[in-house]
Amino acid sequence: MRSIIILTLLGFACSLNAGSAQADLVARYAMGKETIVLSYRDDQHIRVDRGQLGYSIINGDQAIAVLQQGGARVVMNVDEMGGILNNAQNEQQLTIPDSKAVSLTPTGQFSDVAGIKGRVYTASDGRAKYLTVLTDRADVVKASDGLRHFFRRFASSMKNERGNKLLALENAFNEQKDSGVLQVEGGFKLISISQQARPDNFYTPPPIGIQFPNQ
């Protein structure tokens, strides 16, 4: 699951105008050497920022990726990216484990991550075992649900067996009582979580296409 989390976030990567603001859940995660920021209002309003690399937005039925490439801003509809994602994954020969191979076993130990106490589990995906720290704290569970919804929406755009297996993998972990993810050994860790005011149009994607500086 560790590689699936990293792959999903790396594969998808937004402009901020004035508007009315609401208090949304904002969670910052370390992912390898990168920091990502999840802004979550509800399942219809999700944004994941990756700094200078770009960001991704779910706004209602829209799922949009905004990438910074060579000084240009590339805005893509994720549903139209399905074929590109399929081809890229076929080239990489990615293997996603079936949900039947996935398991979580409590170790009886606890760990503090970002000042939050969590239970330590041994996770197995049928190929490798590693430690993960989970919690039932409400705000962390909500943030993790937001990330899972984000994964689910972008996996749906793959429109192939890999996308379906990724959904099955997510569903297997979603049934855990401790479903708030604090840390996954080897590259995923919660840094901070808080309520912050985000304007409504923070979740509004720019027009599809390529935009160059000074345009």
The three state secondary structure string of 20-36 is CEEEEEEEEEEECCEEE
Task: Say how far apart CA 75 and CA 144 lie, in whole Å.
Answer: 26
Q: What is the pLDDT of residue 138?
A: 94
- Give the Å distances, CA to CA, from 19 to 30, 197, 198: 29, 11, 9
Yes or no: say if 50 and 61 are a contact pair by the CB < 8 Å rule: no
Residues of the chain with pLDDT under 70: 1-22, 81-99, 156-175, 214-215
Give dist(CA 73, CA 66) in Å, integer: 7
- pLDDT, residue 20, reads 52
pLDDT at 22: 64
Q: Where are the domains of the chain?
A: 2-15+25-211
Which pLDDT does position 47 carry in this prediction? 96
